[in-house]
Every structure is written in structure tokens, then in C-alpha cells.
Structure 1
Amino acid sequence: MRASRLLSLLMLLQTRGRVTAAELARELEVSVRTVYRDVEALSAAGVPVYADRGPVGGYRLLDGYRTRLNGLTAEEASSLFLAALPGPAAELGLGELAAAAELKVLAALPPEPRSHATRMRERFHLDVPGWYGGAEEAPFLGRVSEAVWDQRPLRMTYRRWGPQEVERLVHPYGLVLKGGSWYMVAAAVRGTGERPEQGRVRQAGGPAGERSGQETGEQVGRGEPRTYKVARIMTAALLEGRFERPAGFDLAAFWTRYTAEFRERMYTAHAVIRLAPGMEGLLRHTVGEDAATAALTGAGPPDERGRRILRLPVESVRHARWLLLRLGAGVEVLEPPELRAAMAEAAAALTRLYGPPEAASAPG
């Protein structure tokens, strides 16, 4: 256990540069006193670890010192190749680089971890998009990733729900791949419309050129980070200059908070339904795991026909009607009245469409 921790400490110092004892303790989930002892052990083993004093001090390795990648266990090496995402890497224009890095890591591994990693790559494959969704076309993903990486302002035309197209000047902080779709986390820059500036812009799909009016990355007022679906970006222009990322911004933590808040905002109403036996699996598939679990957990006891009454979270009456019609006669809406009426209206329309034609009138 300690050998693995010492290796982790060494890798943290190698990848991050100067790190304080408190930061190392948090990362390794040990006490600061244990960090002191581990650093002494590394120094005794010949690793050039130095301590810088003062308010901006910390531990660091001698400049230029690097250790070989030979401390991975077989399981750790296997997990690296299981986590590889060749499809998304290719979408970002990094497919060849990712493949080359994988080969280099594989070549640097000792025989046993290399064997485990090779078997992992041969026997497991990750396909991100769902069966019925497919990967979305995102023609400006490369331009967005360039803006994220280089901290470049981005002017875009974005198609909102409606549909409605809006112009936005944003500072992109990161990209997230969720269910086969790419999302950009960015802060919109407000107030640029009143003060046109001259700036140099590179249009997506076109050469660089001089453009006037609202085409600079000068920050007038930056809002809170928001999410934008990359597939809905209609045009994209990468601006000159760089923006400063907010100190301490954590993309993973932001996304965790965002998804939790999204779930809370998504379900704004409830529908009371009577569910036939054996329909639980189809309910989960239709309305989603979160809503179905909440409804089934609080369901009442079954009646004499095995049906149960559920209180189901829904987004709206219109959306609930569209979803619950997919369950056919396996579900009966009890409340609210407007949703029950909407279901009855849809059922009547289907009856008229698929019912037997009316008999022709007999000649008089």
C-alpha cells in the first residue's frame, strides 16, 4: 500500500510541479504528517524532492527530473486502455495522437501489465451513442475545441429551442460528452452590441479576414457559465486574443451540479396514473429511470387486477401525453383532468383513424 502511495506522490509532483503538503494529503487521502514521512522516504531513495518555503512554497522535483512509466500495476494499466475513447478523440481531431500515445504507453509497460492492457483492448469496446439516437453531427466541434484549448473567444450563431437563432459571444471553458452528444460549457459576454470594435476574426470554414463590428473578444461583462449543445451551433468564428479562465473553475464539478439542477428543473408537474402489471420495464424505458424510480418507489399496493396507482413526475401535460401514449392501454391517466382529456382526445382520434369504415347508406 505504501509503495503505491509513494508512486502516486511522485507522479503528482511530476505532473503538477510545485504542490503543498496539504494538497498532497487531500489527493492521497492521508494526513499531512504522513506526507512528510513519504517525502522523506522518496528523498532517501534518491528522488530529488525539494521543499520551497514561504506562502507560495511547496514540494517540487528537481527541474528536468522524470521517472519512467514502470510503476503501473496490471489492473491500472488495463484501466487506462478501457478508458480510451477513440471515437470522441477522432471527433476532436486527436485520433492519430491518441493512437500514438496508446502505443507509446503500451511499449513502456513491463511484460505483465502490457499483457493485461492488450487483452483489455482486445476484449472490451466502448460505443458511446445509444441504439436509437446515433451520434449527432457537430460540424463546428473542431473550432469549439480549439477555442477551449487556446482560451479564445468565440462568436457563434446558436439555434435555441423554438427554433430560434441567437447571436452569442462566449468564453468557452470546456467540452463535455454526454450520451453521444457534445456540450460546450461557456460564459456569455454581455454588452458588446453597444460598442462595436475592429477585430480580426477567423470564420469557421473560411480564411482569416478583417471584419468590423462586434468581432473582438474584449470582455465587457461575463455571465455565469452555461451549457450549449455543440450540434446546434450554426456558425462559429474564432476571435483573436485570449480570455482568462475563472480561478478555480472545475469542469467536472460544474457538470455534476448542472445535471442535478437540470433534473430538478425538468420535472415541474405530476401525473397520477394507473399502471397495468408487467409494464414497469416499459415505463422506465419510456419516461426515464429517474422519473420511473420515483413513481414506483411511492406506488400504492396493487388492486385485484394487479394494477398500481403511481404519482409520476412529468415535464408538462403536452410532454406527458406524448410519452404515455406510447404505453397504450397499459396505463390509465387519472389526474390532472387536462391530461386525462388530452389522452381521451388522442384515443378518439386513433379510433377514427383505425376504426371500421361506416357502412354505406342503403339506396332509398
Structure 2
Amino acid sequence: MQESRLFRILYYLLNKGHATAPELAEKFEVSVRTIYRDVDAISSAGIPIYVTTGRKGGIQFLDDYVLGKTFFSDSEKLEILSSLQSLSAVQYPEVDTSLNKLRAIFQIGLIDWLDVDFSRWGSAAKIENRMFRQLKQAIFENREITFDYYNATGESGKRNVYPYKLVYKDKAWYLYAFCLLRNENRLFRFSRIKNLILTEVRFERKADIDQYHSVFPMPEEIGDLIDLELEFTLDVGYRLFDTLDDTAITKHEKGYTVKLTLPENNWLYDFLMSFGNKVTIIQPKSIRQTLITKHEAARAHHKGE
């Protein structure tokens, strides 16, 4: 308990510059005598903190003291700055200011090693950036939001949700939120959210939401998962390695065997159809039959039948 309070005193002083003993005592709900003992403990640890008397007196650090020299090794400083730089690379709002401040505090340079842009080309990028800012505000302020949501068939419906966090998964951005219509947690794909509005309704955030986990509910438009076994010819190997996990691909003399689990949806059928006669569906046979039906429909369409 004392160790935790010592760190909180340090952070408080770093933020405010200086404070009086009564002020700290009230802040951390201890006696003034305890605060002075804490100051002695901090000084004994080699951190240059001292007490001055008089009308403008108080507890403060020595002038020009740099936090990083005591608390962090050079490698730890680089890790912190690199993490912030990664956020900056994906255009996380306001992170550049924090990055510049810490770079100055740590007195260390940093190579510009990463540039990531998740936004789409064209005018859609501005819309998505505005949506990011709105969702960040809604998440931090626990505000209910409402929007029109388009499903896989292009039909829209009004949704009211409690936003919890933003998720980047399977090459797309999603909003993880509690849906008041479905009465359960859902993933909503960014590109299908339209007319987003922040309401003035506040919600109580569940305590376990902030715990990291990677198990999210499947978006409603994704489809059911199925186990696939496929055979591809040798000349399309580059496409397999561009799209699929290497561990799912086995090369042999005549081509590639692919075994993996994917959602059964339009993306899967479009992906398989794009290979033409370069792919053979081994399992499940129902996928093979659906693919035949889709090819026949495409053939009839282009023949004008």
C-alpha cells in the first residue's frame, strides 16, 4: 500500500510541479506526518525530492530533474516511445503531442520506422477518421450511440448500442458494443455503419469489458464456420500465400492442399470462383454443389439465357 502511494505522490508532483504536505495528505487520505515520512522514503531511494518552507513553499523535485533517468533504462525508454510511435502511425488521435513530450523528457531520439494507414483511398478516409473521433468520444464518455446498419444483403436497420471498444480483425475495423436491439454484445463493421449520432444517454460500463480478450462474437453477417479441404494447382501458389495462413497450406508434387476453417459466405464463394479450374473442393461436398450452381448462373447470365 505504501509503495503504491509513493508512486502516486510522484506522479501527482510531476503533473502539478509542487504541492504542500496538507494538500497531499488530503489527496491520499493520510496524515501530514505520514506524507513527510513518504518524502523521506522517496529521497532515500535516490529521487531528488525536497521540501521548502514559506508562503510559496512545498514539496517538489529539483529543477531540471528528468524522470526517465531514474525510472527507465534506455531500452525501456525506446519501448515506450516505439509503442507511442506505433499509435501515431495508425493515426491515433492526439498521440503525437504525448510522443513529443516523452521524447523531450527522455532526451532520446527515435527512428521513424513505421507507417501504417488503415483508411481507404479517396473521400471515405475523411468519413472514417471522423467516425473514429466520434466513437472514441462515445467510448470514453460512456455515451449511447445510434446509427443505421447495413447487413450483407444491403438492407438497413436502426441500431442503438453501448460502445465498448474498437477492434481491427480480419482486414477490417469493427465496433464492439452492446446492441439494445439484440440484447447482447455484437461486432459492427465500420463500413456498414452510417449516420452515426452520439446521444446524451449515459450507460454504466461493465467491469469486465476492460479486461483484454480476443474472443469476440462473430458479426451477424459473417456466416457459419465450416471445415474446408481444397486442392489448388501449382501456378496459383502465390495467391494462396498472399491470402491464407501458411500453416494451412501443404505443397506437394502436383500442387497445394489447403485445410482450414472459414465462414461460409459470399466472400468464400467469390474467392473460390476466382480460381476457376485451378481449385478442386474435396470437402465439404455441399460447397462443391453450391459452386457449380453459381458458375451455371454466371454462365447463363452472360449468355443472356
Instruction: Output the TM-score relative to the length of structure 2.
Output: 0.62
What is the distance in 2 between the residues matched to 1:226 and 1:342?
Answer: 29
Please say if 1:232 is aligned against 2:186.
no
State the one-letter code of the partner of 2:240: L
Report the equivalent of 1:293: 247
User: Is 1:151–2:142 an aligned residue pair?
Assistant: yes
Q: Which structure features the higher share of strand residues?
A: 2
What amino acid is the match of 1:156?
F
Whether the aligned pair in 1 keeps the contact of 2:237 and 2:256 (CA below 8 Å) is no
Residue 47 of structure 1, CA deviation? 6.8
Note the C-alpha offset of 1:245: 0.9
For the pair 1:275 / 2:232, whether they are aligned, the reply is yes
Match of 1:129 in 2: 118
Counterparts of 2:168 and 2:9, CA distance in 1: 29
- Percent identity reads 20
* Counterpart residue identity of residue 194, structure 2: M
Q: Which residue does 1:313 correspond to in 2?
A: 261
Aligned to 2:27: none
Question: Structure 1, residues 49-70: CA drift from partner, whole Å, max 9, x if none?
Answer: xxxxxxxxxxxxxxx8788343
| DSSP 3-state at the match of 1:226 | strand
Unaligned 5+ runs, structure 1: 1-6, 17-39, 49-63, 191-221, 355-364
> Would you say the 8 A contact 2:68–2:77 is kept in 1?
no
Alignment partner of 2:143: what SS? coil
For 1:252 and 1:331, locate their aligned partners in 2 and report how far apart those are by CA, in whole Å: 39
Residue 88 of structure 2 aligns with which residue? 86
Q: Alpha carbons of 1:82 and 1:163: their partners in 2 closer, same or farther (altered >3 Å)?
A: same
1:107 aligns with 2:104: yes
Residues 347 and 9 (structure 1), Cα distance of their counterparts in 2 relative to 1, 3 Å cut: farther
Matched-pair contact (CA < 8 Å) for 1:136–1:180: no
- Aligned partner of 2:274 among 326, 329, 346: 326
Q: Say yes or no: does 1:166 pair with 2:157.
A: yes
Mapping 1:49-88, distance limit 5 Å:
68-70=67-69, 71-83=71-83, 84=85, 85-86=87-88, 88=90
- Cα distance between partner residues in 2 of 1:76 and 1:47: 18
- What one-letter code is carried by the residue in structure 2 that aligns with 1:257? V
Q: Is the 8 A contact 2:225 2:263 kept in 1?
A: yes
Deviation by residue 1:139-195 (Cα, 9 ceiling, x = unmatched): 4332222111111222222223322222222222223345774432221335xxxxx
1:218-229 alignment to 2 at 5 Å?
223-229=183-189
CA distance in 1, matches of 2:242, 2:255: 19
| Counterpart for residue 258 of structure 1 | 216
Tell me the residue number matched to 2:51.
Answer: none
| Structure 2 match to 1:245 | 205
1:274 positional shift: 2.7
Q: Which runs of 5+ in 2 are unaligned?
A: 13-39, 49-58
Distance in 2, matches of 1:108 and 1:342, equals 62
Q: Aligned AA for 1:100? A: T
Secondary structure at 1:141's aligned position in 2?
helix
The 1:129–1:237 alpha-carbon spacing in structure 2 relative to 1, beyond 3 Å, is closer
Q: How far apart are residue 317 of structure 1 and its match?
A: 7.5
- Do the aligned residues in 1 keep the contact of 2:89 with 2:114 (CA within 8 Å)? no
Q: Could you tell me which amino acid in structure 2 is paired with residue 230 of structure 1?
A: F
**Residue among 79, 95, 98 paired with 1:98:** 95
> Residue 307 of structure 1: CA displacement?
3.9
CA contact (8 A) 1:270 1:311 kept: yes
Equivalent-residue separation in structure 1 for 2:144 and 2:154 (angstroms) = 25
- State the AA in 2 paired with 1:79: E
C-alpha distance 238-14 of structure 1, shift in aligned 2 (>3 A): farther
CA 1:171–1:107 in 2, change beyond 3 Å: closer, same or farther? same
More deviation in 162-171 or 313-322?
313-322
- Aligned positions of 1:26-41 closer than 5 A: none
Alignment partner of 1:240: what SS? strand
Q: Which residue of 1 aligns with 2:34?
A: none
Aligned length: 254
TM-score, scaled relative to structure 1: 0.53
Q: Deviations over 1:191-220 (max 9, x none)?
A: xxxxxxxxxxxxxxxxxxxxxxxxxxxxxx
